[in-house]
Amino acid sequence: MKTPIKIGKITLPNNIIAAPIAGYSDVAFRRLCLEFGAGLVPTEMVSAKGLVYRNKGSYPLLQKSSNESPSCVQLFGSEKEFFAKAIDELKRLDYHFDIIDVNMGCPMPKITKNGEGSALMKDVLNACSIVETLKKYHDTVTCKIRIGWDENNINAVSFAKSLENAGADLVTVHGRTRKQLYSGKANWDVIGEVKTALTIPVFGNGDVLNFDEAQERMKAYGIDGVMIGRGAIGTIRVFCEKIADNVNFTVKDIILKHIKYLEEYFDEKYTINSMKKHLAYYLKGIENTRELRQKINKIETVNELKQEIKKGLL
């Protein structure tokens, strides 16, 4: 069963939340996640340095829907000074977020080579200084980490404890090492060990594909909540406590609503490209959609896309 949970000075309506997924977690997708029961929907990760240097590519990532309350922005970087300045830049842009989440788990080489993402797990002093700096400017700060760098360096327990001592209000643990990237299985035993060691809330992440699995993980490992990432793409009802809660929504209804929301925030090119990515998941496992998939790849306008969805999904 979902339960409200207090994170620092913020209370989430429930403890099943969405993960920030680069290339997918835009404002339209987050709006859908909330409508279908997610307790929180962090933004895609935003570069602290990019904000400070006013990189225009960062701005679309900061868009919020009217139902994003509480709201959360995920920042990444490796220098505490830029995190402090990023807070000032958010204020200048008049973007208020209730929670600042620090990405300490991204495993991609283009991120870790700069000492960012999961590379921070090898630099606990710097990671803690980032949290301490943010806490001077913001009430509620959370962190997303992995279980370690590789199988020989699994340090999630000590690392998370240090983050708690630095002032973090919640730690979310993805149950893979940086070396695993997104392969293999998530190690939930380590996530459970982190929860045992900390007094602040601990959420688990990794390989949760439906609501029942989320409940099972919380019960088995004593964690406070679950973050669902890839399991939510194309299966937005994963956040519903009971599928019957949204039984009136067919896959076609959800897709058309997703397109509608994308049109509200983005131009046609972005809308089409984004939906093509999402549709690969929405249509997965649905019979007799081969022809529809082929047509979608050639579509160039949103109206064409909507018409093909209406005809191809009865």
- Per-residue pLDDT tens digits for 9-63: 999 999 999 999 999 999 999 999 999 999 999 999 999 999 999 999 999 999 9
For 97-126, what is each residue's pLDDT tens digit? 999 999 999 999 999 999 999 999 999 999
Residue 242 pLDDT exceeds 80: no
Question: What's residue 28's pLDDT?
Answer: 98
Indicate the average pLDDT of the chain.
95
Instruction: For residue 185, give every residue at least 6 positions away whose Cβ sits within 8 Å of its Cβ, in sequence order, or none.
Output: 175, 207
pLDDT band with cut points at 50, 70 and 90 for residue 312:
confident
Active site residues: 106
What pLDDT is stored for residue 34 in this prediction?
Answer: 96
Whole-number Å distance between alpha carbons of 49 and 30: 24
**pLDDT exceeds cutoff 60 at 247:** no
Per-residue confidence at 244, pLDDT binned at 50, 70, 90?
A: very low
Q: Are 143 and 166 in contact (CB under 8 A)?
A: no
d(CA 87, CA 156): 27
- For residue 76, CA distances in Å to 32, 113, 237, 260 come to 24, 13, 29, 30
Strands 141-148 and 225-228: what pairing?
unpaired
Name beta bridge partners: 72: 99
d(CA 165, CA 122): 17
Arithmetic mean of pLDDT, 146-150: 97
**Percent of the chain whose pLDDT exceeds 90:** 91
Note the pLDDT tens digit of each residue in 272-291. 999 999 999 999 988 888 88
Burial zone of 18 (CB within 10 Å; 0-12 exposed, 13-18 middle, 19+ buried): buried
Condensed to tens digits (0 to 9), the pLDDT of residues 158-198 reads 999 999 999 999 999 999 999 999 999 999 999 999 999 99
| High-pLDDT (> 70) share of the chain, % | 97
3-state SS string over 61-84?
HHCCCCCCCCCEEEEECCCHHHHH
At residue 202, the 3 state secondary structure works out as strand
Would you state the pLDDT for residue 30? 98
Run of H or E including 11: strand 10-12
